[in-house]
């Protein structure tokens, strides 16, 4: 067993760290405040290769492993979790899903634009009545020979307005339950497709989250991903990898909050000494450090499982469950270490505490991760 990163991994991590500090840190507080999408920054991330890291080079992707992706996600998330969720959805849900399950024509037409950041993608599974209970899709895609007609509503869609291409999950044959579900590539400009109002969120406020409405949208048959009825498996397989990305995001939020708390505790004085010299604060720092390292091991284990073509459903779910709890705990404690300043926007940690919460909710709530984990350990 070797816990060392390769030179290439270190290079990618450092490039992401530099980008985050130089390009994302300036303005991150204002973007959160005004709910402003990081348009220019995401464009640059595309140019630097951060938007399609794991996709095949043949289609403009970086051809990198999941460990590289996780390292970059962690660094970007330390500074700006709004930018990292855009990156995460584009990389691990949209590009990976298309690269792995799309056909040559679909990849040439869509993936080549998504890997370079020229276009942005969105993943549309959740509905008003089907978030955790994902098999209960109410959006319908009725087969009309050479095309499908799509009707329904999707909720809480990351990149809702910014995206150009949407991977949409819908029910074609209700009798067949989850085996009658399909996944489609839908273009923004198609008639009958409407973008609902932007959600006013607690955290990751720089990302744009919308509901989407499909009114008799005509989807050509060649835009279905995989065989008829493959849609639910497509969603589950794609989300299993997506969860590793969100676990890395949680790890980054925790790491960012911890680094700020450590720095502040060495500067701020109380009772005649820096507050890190008080055991009450020193022990908080120790607990934060240990939990972040434990989360890192779980996240890396899941990434390595994915890279080794193993089954990463269990390790990805464990990584997300644990890292998202650590992000919550560490960011709350980081606010506490900062005292009154922690409650003020200028010090960043209150934003990180707000951003952390969503990692326990999206791409499968913590309760869903426990379903995945418990089924896996009980059924083997």
d(CA 16, CA 39): 17
Nearer to ligand COS, 302 or 334 (CB): 302
How open is the CA angle 152-158-161, to the nearest 5 degrees? 75
- Backbone dihedral region of 183: left (phi > 0), alpha (psi from -120 to 50 degrees) or beta? beta
Residue 226 as a binder of ligand COS (CB under 6 A): the answer is: no
- CB 48 → ligand COS: shortest distance, Å? 26
x-marked contacts with ligand COS along 135-164 as a string, rule CB under 6 A: x-----------------------------
Nearest to 56 by CA among 19, 102, 10, 15: 102
Stretch touching ligand COS by CB under 6 A, among 28-36, 211-219, 234-242, 289-297: 234-242
Tell me which of 236, 304, 332, 373 binds ligand COS, using CB under 6 A: 236
Q: Torsions phi, psi of 125, nearest 5?
A: -115, -50
Catalytically annotated residues: 363
Nearer to ligand COS, 131 or 339 (CB): 131
Q: Is 195 helix (H, G, I), strand (E, B) or coil?
A: strand
Stretch touching ligand COS by CB under 6 A, among 55-63, 95-103, 255-263, 365-373: 365-373
Tell me which of 147, 188, 233, 357 binds ligand COS, using CB under 6 A: 233
Stretch touching ligand COS by CB under 6 A, among 52-60, 71-79, 124-132, 318-326: 124-132
Whether residue 117 contacts residue 46, with contact meaning beta carbons closer than 8 Å, is answered with yes
d(CA 79, CA 237): 29
Residue 22 as a binder of ligand COS (CB under 6 A): the answer is: no
d(CA 243, CA 316): 6
Nearer to ligand COS, 31 or 243 (CB): 243
Nearer to ligand COS, 17 or 178 (CB): 178
> In the window 311-340, what residues touch ligand COS (CB under 6 A)?
313
Nearest to 348 by CA among 358, 363, 335: 335
Binding-site size, ligand COS (CB under 6 A): 20
Q: Torsions phi, psi of 77, nearest 5?
A: -70, -25
d(CA 357, CA 255): 15
> In the window 85-104, what residues touch ligand COS (CB under 6 A)?
none
Q: What is the DSSP letter of 141?
A: E
Stretch touching ligand COS by CB under 6 A, among 63-71, 297-305, 336-344, 356-364: 356-364
Which residue's entry shows tokens 């995460």?
88
**Residues at the interface with ligand COS (CB under 6 A):** 125-126, 131-132, 134-135, 178, 232-233, 236-237, 239-240, 313, 362-364, 368, 371-372
């Amino acid at each position: 067993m070797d816990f060392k990163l390769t030179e290439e991994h270190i290079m990618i991590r450092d490039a992401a760290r530099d980008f985050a500090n130089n390009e994302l840190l300036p303005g991150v507080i204002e973007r959160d405040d005004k709910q402003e999408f990081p348009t220019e920054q995401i464009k640059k991330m595309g140019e630097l290769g951060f938007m399609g890291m794991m996709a095949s080079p043949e289609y403009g992707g970086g051809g990198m492993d999941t460990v590289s992706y996780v390292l970059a996600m962690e660094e970007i998330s330390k500074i700006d979790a709004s930018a990292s969720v855009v990156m995460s959805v584009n990389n691990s849900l949209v590009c990976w899903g298309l690269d792995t399950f799309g056909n040559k024509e679909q990849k040439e037409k869509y993936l080549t634009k998504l890997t370079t950041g020229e276009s942005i993608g969105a993943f549309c599974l959740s509905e008003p009545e089907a978030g955790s209970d994902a098999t209960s899709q109410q959006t319908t895609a009725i087969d009309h020979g050479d095309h499908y007609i799509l009707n329904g509503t999707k909720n809480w869609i990351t990149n809702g307005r910014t995206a150009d291409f949407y991977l949409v999950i819908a029910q074609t044959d209700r009798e067949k339950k989850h085996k009658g579900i399909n996944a489609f590539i839908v273009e923004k400009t198609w008639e009958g497709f409407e973008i609902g109002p932007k959600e006013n969120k607690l955290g990751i406020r720089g990302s744009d989250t919308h509901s989407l409405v499909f009114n008799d949208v005509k989807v050509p048959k060649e835009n279905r991903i995989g065989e008829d009825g493959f849609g639910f498996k497509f969603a589950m397989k794609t989300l299993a990898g997506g969860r590793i990305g969100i676990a890395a995001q949680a790890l980054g939020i925790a790491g960012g909050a911890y680094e700020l708390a450590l720095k502040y505790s060495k500067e701020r004085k109380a009772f005649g000494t820096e507050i890190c010299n008080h055991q009450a604060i020193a022990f908080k720092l120790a607990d934060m450090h240990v939990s972040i390292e434990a989360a890192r091991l779980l996240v890396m284990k899941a990434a390595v499982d994915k890279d080794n073509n193993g089954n990463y459903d269990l390790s990805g779910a464990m990584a997300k469950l644990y890292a998202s709890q650590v992000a919550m705990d560490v960011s709350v404690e980081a606010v506490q270490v900062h005292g009154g300043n922690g409650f003020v926007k200028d010090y960043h940690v209150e934003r990180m505490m707000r951003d952390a919460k969503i990692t326990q909710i999206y791409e499968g709530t913590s309760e869903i991760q426990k379903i995945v984990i418990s089924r896996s350990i009980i059924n083997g």
